[in-house]
A and B are shown apart, each in its own frame.
Chain A
C-alpha cells in the first residue's frame, strides 16, 4: 500500500525546544517537499529536496532545518528560532523528470504543531 506517512499527528512544543516531524514515502519518488499551512494563507513551501543529500530553501525556511539521508525520508526540524511555529505541516513527494514537465505532488496526512 503505497503512500506518504507523517508522524506524529499532533505535536506539542515547549519554549526553546527543537522538535522533529517525520515524513516517509514508499512511492519511490525522487522529490520531497515540506509545506506550512496557516488559515487563509494556502500552502507555503519551507524546504524541498530533489535528490538524496541535497535540499533547497523554500519561501519560508527561516527557523527550520531538514535532512535527506535516504530517498524515502525527509524529516523537518522546527528549531527554537521559529517564533511562530503553530501550524499544520504537510509533507509531499513527486516524481521528478530532469528537464521534463511538472508532475503531481502527493501529500501526506499532515502534522499539527502546537506551542505550549
Chain B
C-alpha cells in the first residue's frame, strides 16, 4: 500500500516554463513533507520541505504548496532550466522519522 502517491511519473517542460509535481497522502499523522532531487547515479538531496502548519513555502525558484484539508502537496519549479532535469521524490514523515516516499517524477527540461 503506497502511503504517498506521486504524479506524474514523467514530465517534459520547455525552458522557462513551470514544472508542477503533485503528491497525495492519507495519514493525517504525517508532520513533515520534504522534496528530494536526485541526479542519475547520485543520492537524493533535500530540495525544500514544509510542515503542516503552513500552506506555502518558497525558496528561490522552488515552491511547495500544501493543502491540509485535501491531503495534498505539490512542488512548483518556476523558470525551469535544463539543469533542473532530474528525478524528484516527495516524502512524508511521522514522528520518529519513519519516511514514506513517492515513486518519483522524472523531469526533463528541454532548451
Contact = CB atoms under 8 A, between A and B. Distances in A.
A and B: real partners? yes
Interface of A: 4, 6, 31, 33, 40-45, 48, 50, 90, 94, 96, 99-110, 112
Contacts of B31: 101-102
B99 A100 contact: no
5 contacts: A4-B43, A40-B103, A42-B104, A48-B98, A103-B32
Interface string B80-111: 00000000010001111111011110000000
Given A40-B104, A42-B104, A104-B32, 6 more contacts: A31-B97, A44-B101, A45-B98, A99-B95, A102-B94, A112-B41
B97 A94 contact: yes
B12 interface: no
A104 B43 contact: no
Interface residues of B, number: 26
Interface of B: 6, 9, 31-32, 34, 36, 41-46, 49, 51, 89, 93-99, 101-104
A63 to B, nearest CB: 20
B95 A102 contact: yes
A90 B104 CA distance: 15
A30 B36 CA distance: 21
Contact of B32 (A42, A90, A101, A108): A101
Contacts of B49: 104
Contacts of A50: 96-97
B89 A43 contact: yes
